[in-house]
Amino acid sequence: MTATTTGPQGAPVATVGDDRSLPRSPLRKLLARPELGSVVGAIAVFVFFAFAADGFLRATSLSTVLYASSTIGIMAVPVALLMIGGEFDLSAGVMVTSSALISSMFSYQMTANVWVGVGVSLLLTLAVGAFNGFMLTRTGLPSFIITLGTFLMLTGMNLGFTKLIDGTVSTKTIGDMEGFSSAHAVFASTVTVGGVDFKITILWWLALVALASWILLRTRTGNWIFAVGGNQDAARAVGVPVTRTKIGLYMGVALGAWISGQHLLFSFDAVQSGEGVGNELIYIIAAVIGGCLITGGYGSAVGSAVGALLFGMTSKGIVFAEWNPDWFKFFLGAMLLLATLLNTWVRRRAEASTK
């Protein structure tokens, strides 16, 4: 059913796939939550590895799981918002590496404070995101084609520029440069709580989830995101700035790539130019497991976080259980299928309950 209503100032507040304004009982609201299926799956995976893997419940092990989840979750959050808006970004994985390479090579070649390289990287990474959004809205081509082209260009540029400037496939170490210690503290430090070490990426991840949830549920921009993902033409007809919204979503993915890239750089102080290829699929998988529909207009930031947590628990749980890690991709694929089927069932039940 296609329906669009407007708020007191003319802003659309409900479109295809966005039935948040309909009066429902608490049970119906729970069934309509996009992340319900992934939460059930996460509980099942947690209980399973709690019994199957010795040491899984140790505080240090849980810290490791959260760190693995955060490195995926930082990107899964903006990717989920983009998918809710009805689009994909296949360049997200290599964009992380591009961001790290720019920071490292600019700082090293200019012998500048590394924060200068970090700032330049932010601007250029956001420019890549804006380019993706601009090309999508101007050409009308599918996001798959646009971002696949960007993926290939960035992959070639990462390798080509790194070999041209540094002479190898990796950047020079910048660990002894001015500003490295403070940048490391922001992007790659460790916080000790109760004698257990937690990576600062976990805080970045939680902050992004909170910010994205606030945008989706408490702002007019969130209504716009659901609107363009549910029915772009209907959204445009009632005044939603579709072009600006989609460009902003792609720049959001670029911002996540910049944060992840700086963590990659300041964790190791050097970057391999070939890293990141294939990670874009993991980000999309985390968002889909978390309840985002491939067709757009439905999903949540919290769901993407649960999807990333499922990824972290599975990847590290297999290690703690001392299983052959070659089976990890099998379990990841099985989780994707099961989560998608469960999310579809939950979605249909929620739609049926509102009729």
- Please report the pLDDT score of residue 20 as a whole number: 47
pLDDT of residue 301: 93
pLDDT value of residue 349: 67
| Confidence at residue 353, expressed as pLDDT on a 0 to 100 scale | 60
223-268 per-position pLDDT tens digit: 999 999 989 999 999 999 999 999 999 999 999 999 999 999 999 8
pLDDT tens per residue across span 60-69: 999 999 999 9
Q: Report the C-alpha gap between 321 and 303 in whole angstroms.
A: 26
Distance CA 134, CA 138 (A): 6
Which pLDDT value is given to residue 266? 96
Q: What is the pLDDT of residue 10?
A: 40
Helix (H, G, I), strand (E, B) or coil at 39: helix
Q: Identify the pLDDT of residue 24.
A: 58
At 278 the pLDDT is 86
3 state SS of 33: coil
**Can you give the length of the chain in residues?**
355
Cα-Cα-Cα-Cα torsion 341, 336, 222, 146, nearest 10 degrees, comes to -120
**Dist CA 42 CA 153 (whole Å):** 36
Backbone phi and psi for residue 302, each to the nearest 5 degrees, phi listed first: -60, -40
pLDDT attached to residue 75: 97
Low-confidence ranges of the chain (pLDDT < 70): 1-32, 343, 346-347, 349-355
